[in-house]
Structure 1
Amino acid sequence: MTASHLSDGDVGLLSPVSASPSVAVLTGDRAVLAAILAVEAGWASVLEKAGLAPAGSAAVVDAAADVDRYDVAGIAVRAQGGANPVIPLLADLRAEVKALDTESVGALRAVHASLTSQDVLDSALMLLARNAVTALMTDVRAITTALAVFAEQHADTLCVGRSLTQHSLPFTFGLKAAQWFHGLAAAARRLEAVELPLQTGGAAGTLAAGTVLTKGSVDTPFDLSGNLAAHLGLAVAPGPWHTNRLAVTSLGDALAAVTDALGKIAGDVLFLSRPEVGELAEPRAAGRGVSSAMPQKQNPVLSVLVRSAALQAPGQAAQLHLAAANFNDERPDGAWHSEWPAFRQLLRLALGAAGHLRELAEGLQVFPAAMRRNLELSGPLLLSEGVSAAVAPLLEERDGRTGKQQLQDVVDRTLQAPPAEQSGTYRRLLREAVPASALSDEQLEELLDPASYLGQAGEISRRILAAFPDFAGSGEPPADAGRAIPAGTTTETDLNGDPRG
């Protein structure tokens, strides 16, 4: 029996997107317990500096706040007795402080003085979020840097735009990458702007106990809150927010927006890496993307995992709003408790998805020849919008039909032809409908060149990147970004030398 068989805990077997040691370190039960202890130790330090706790007590509490001293699983079970983990942990913390206070400085007086369990747990979860968001932003910036490189390198790489699943207009892969960048950078900027406030309100949010504690002191309860916020690196709130959960829902919404943006990218890659499309491919790694039954398959599992997170995150954010709307009285009965799992799961989903998307973005394989091949499936019909705009004014009314209506007739007749013949049919019918005196053969062919109808694609990409310079990185290409297969290659292969359809 291995060590793993000895644990009945949840290690992420059914949550592969976030089953990562790095995610567990930031959001696991041990991390939650460590954050609670950090709040308690920080408070003891603040009280001692304010002269409201005995000298030397902060050091004792800090020593006692070592998470390795505590039985996380045992505290979780005992939390049922008070409906939150702070209560049993406090009992254990006080016992540790008492045992470590060998010089009898009276360190117990610094433990949890004037606080309530919601103060500590709310603050601890904000601290947990701060650490997780810091790590998340590292991955997000790596992703946006890779996307910015793709946007610049493929500014002129033609592909087909799709609308309601159908070919629409000529597009560029550079603009697609820029739009991916835009969605993620905008969501990340919003996440960075979310304030993570400290919570100190006392039993009912009036700071009554804190007022008694500071009586005769130069410091007020608000001073102590500000000092603890600075100590922990959290924001200062104007007052207690026990039942005003905007801090929680704002963070949840911002995390969901990031996973939305990651999910959009993953969804596009899933489609564009289908064998019959073949425009992109995920980076390959030994043992990844395999099938239990079909040896030939290379499943795009990075995108699958990211998409799974994007499909879950909105529900978790909605749970935070549902809870917030039901925070009754001055301290809630159940709504607060229903927040915790959704709050943590959102952090886990965002962290896991960003980690997988980073690997995907930094190793994404691009196949311009396949993009051109797919673009040409619709042939010159793809330019019919531009042709109509340029040519319709040149045509005289015929049989009561305006120039625009005549050109629509050309399109309708072309679509009646077999797909393989539509390109030639459209050119022939268009030439018949437009007098050479109005438009020469050379001018007509220029209109039917996909590169002639990209609008402001390049400028849009440039403006997007310029709007988020802090997310565009140094411009250094990701490891495989420069290894795109050039257009015109006769045999298209991926980076492993395998043929692409």
Structure 2
Amino acid sequence: MSVSIFDSFLTTPDMIAVFDDAAIVQAMLRFEQALAEAQARQGMLPAQSARAIAGVCNAQLYDIPAIVSAGRRAGSLAIPLVRELTRTVALYDAEAAARVHWGSTSQDVIDTAMVLATRDALQLLDDGLHDLTGHLLQLADRHVATPVLARTLMQPAQVSSFGFKVAGWLAPLVRARARLRECAARALQLQLGGAVGTLSVMGEHGTAVAALVAADLGLKVADAAWHTQRDEWVRLGLEVAVLTGSLGKIATDISLMAQGEIAELAEPSGNGRGGSSAMPHKRNPVSAMIALAAATRTPQHAAALLASMGQQHERGLGNWQAELAEWPTLFLSAHGAVQALNDAFAGLHVDPARMLRNIDALQGLVFAEAASASLAASIGRPAAHSLLEAMSAEALASGRNLAEVLADAVRADEQLRKQVDPDALASLFDPAAAALPAQRLAQHQLQSLREQIAALNSTPFHHRTSA
């Protein structure tokens, strides 16, 4: 396929190649070859005719731009392709030329070609997620006890652990990888129904031919033609969209944590990466930028898939064609985002010291809830809450740390001195101790994710989607 310079900036050469014009035409010819060979095995045409057809099912033999141009006039790419295939076969075997595309229809060849291309696209995504989940698992393990500010509504909230945050990035990607495989197992199926889905031209041989073609192409045999029943197909596309949204969430967090005023993370630099044409000091998070751009574009393409589902009768007019045009863009964006984040996490700089400084800069206020909960056991919840409200206000007004202000308040109050252990109170303001609940949860979650990743890695994607 032809992509603009800005599209190519946001994706990868590998994914562009999957949906390239030549790749789609070759996949269409692969369908025609498999159809002829299956029909020969069923005695519907001579083996010599099948060999003649198969011998010229090579995209390099054809003027692809001319076929694409003719397809626009014909209303289907398959019509000029089949015409050129028939003409080429006739140069060698006139009888075989009469049997090209026999019993099939344009949507059969185009849909099956898109299924074959999509299988390759999903393999790229699966490989990319294999690497990305591996990077994130290592990062989470390494920083499972590293204190970091958790932020809600864009404001500092409490102390968490960076490993816990990374586990939150990792889990949706593991789920996405599994669900893409599940959806692929249902959606990557042969399309072969003939003119209206009934295989009428092939008669009693139709079902057997379909089974042989599916086996040859490594696809599932569909229960029936799905020319206008697009539910499983669209569901697969929507899973790709959800994956891209999850990648966008990770990119959002990276970009916020990489801001100069925060500086807890930094993407790899060097060799011109992330530079500015005007400001030499800048270290721009370009991987996050690519993933965010992908996530921004994706909802519109996903919505177009849903909008295209109301296809008329046994062949859609306009909506099927719209779906075909939208489909590759979902994969181009998703793979661009996956690979961009792989680049980021392969050399991500994590600054635990800066994370601690950011916690310390908040004057202990992020520990207020923990202190209130602890004091509630001694003086009751309402009194504890009121005390921490007053002490927090004083800390802000005086510029002192809440731990010091609260310790002074305890020492000044005889009743509090009797009820509150000053050492236990001081320990509540220790970032490492505050991160322990997140650390424990992260360790439990990471063990489960590690097992899920191992199970996915032990079963290659292509094996799961082959017949």
Give the TM-score normalised by the residue count of structure 2. Answer: 0.90
Letter matched to residue 452 of structure 1: A
| Mapping for residues 299-448 of structure 1, pairs under 5 Å | 299-324=284-309, 326-395=310-379, 402-414=382-394, 416-417=396-397, 419=399, 424-429=404-409, 432=412, 435-448=416-429
| Separation of aligned partners in 1, 2:135 and 2:433 | 28
**Partner-residue secondary structure (3-state), 2:36:** helix
Match of 1:286 among 252, 260, 271: 271
| Structure 2 match to 1:265 | 250
Matched, 1:130 2:110: no
Match of 2:145 among 156, 164, 168: 156
Shift of 1:282: 0.8
**Partner-residue secondary structure (3-state), 1:15:** helix
User: For this pair of structures, how many residues does the alignment match?
Assistant: 451
| Structure 1 match to 2:282 | 297
Distance 1:121 1:409, change over 3 A: same
Distance 1:414 1:46, change over 3 A: farther
Matched, 1:224 2:209: yes
Letter matched to residue 438 of structure 1: Q
Matched, 1:49 2:41: yes
| Mapping for residues 84-163 of structure 1, pairs under 5 Å | 84-101=76-93, 106-163=95-152
**Partner-residue secondary structure (3-state), 2:416:** coil
Matched, 1:453 2:434: yes
Distance 1:394 1:422, change over 3 A: closer
Shift of 1:457: 2.0
| Separation of aligned partners in 1, 2:81 and 2:399 | 71
**Partner-residue secondary structure (3-state), 2:397:** coil
Match of 2:59 among 64, 67, 77: 67
Letter matched to residue 353 of structure 1: A
Give the alignment's Cα RMSD to 1 decimal: 2.2
Q: Deviations over 1:115-163 (max 9, x none)?
A: 1111111111111100110111101110000100011111111111000
| Separation of aligned partners in 2, 1:76 and 1:48 | 30
| Structure 1 match to 2:465 | none
Contact 1:290 1:297 survives alignment (8 Å): yes
Match of 1:174 among 158, 163, 181: 163
Shift of 1:470: 5.9
Letter matched to residue 70 of structure 1: Y
Letter matched to residue 425 of structure 1: V
**Partner-residue secondary structure (3-state), 2:269:** coil
Contact 2:89 2:97 survives alignment (8 Å): yes
| Separation of aligned partners in 2, 1:468 and 1:110 | 53
**Partner-residue secondary structure (3-state), 1:56:** helix
Q: Deviations over 1:258-279 (max 9, x none)?
A: 1111111111111111111111
Distance 1:245 1:427, change over 3 A: farther
Distance 1:123 1:431, change over 3 A: farther
Structure 2 unaligned blocks of 5 or more: 456-467
| Separation of aligned partners in 1, 2:127 and 2:161 | 28
Distance 1:418 1:95, change over 3 A: farther
| Structure 1 match to 2:218 | 233
Distance 1:187 1:415, change over 3 A: farther
Contact 1:306 1:353 survives alignment (8 Å): yes
Distance 1:75 1:432, change over 3 A: farther
**Partner-residue secondary structure (3-state), 2:196:** coil
Contact 2:146 2:162 survives alignment (8 Å): yes
Shift of 1:455: 5.6
| Structure 2 match to 1:495 | none
Distance 1:11 1:252, change over 3 A: closer
Letter matched to residue 129 of structure 1: T
| Structure 1 match to 2:444 | 463
| Separation of aligned partners in 2, 1:15 and 1:59 | 40
Distance 1:440 1:463, change over 3 A: closer
| Separation of aligned partners in 2, 1:447 and 1:128 | 56
Match of 2:241 among 250, 253, 256: 256
Distance 1:225 1:404, change over 3 A: farther
Distance 1:459 1:349, change over 3 A: same
Q: Deviations over 1:232-287 (max 9, x none)?
A: 12222211111111122111111011111111111111111111111111112412
Shift of 1:53: 2.1
Contact 2:132 2:341 survives alignment (8 Å): yes
| Separation of aligned partners in 2, 1:34 and 1:352 | 24
| Separation of aligned partners in 2, 1:19 and 1:145 | 21
Distance 1:244 1:415, change over 3 A: farther
Distance 1:25 1:404, change over 3 A: same
| Mapping for residues 190-229 of structure 1, pairs under 5 Å | 190-194=179-183, 195=186, 196-211=188-203, 214=204, 220-229=205-214
| Separation of aligned partners in 1, 2:211 and 2:43 | 16
Match of 2:26 among 34, 44, 64: 34
Contact 1:266 1:307 survives alignment (8 Å): yes
| Structure 1 match to 2:16 | 24
The percentage of aligned residue pairs carrying the same residue is 31
Q: Which has the higher helix share?
A: 2
Shift of 1:313: 1.2
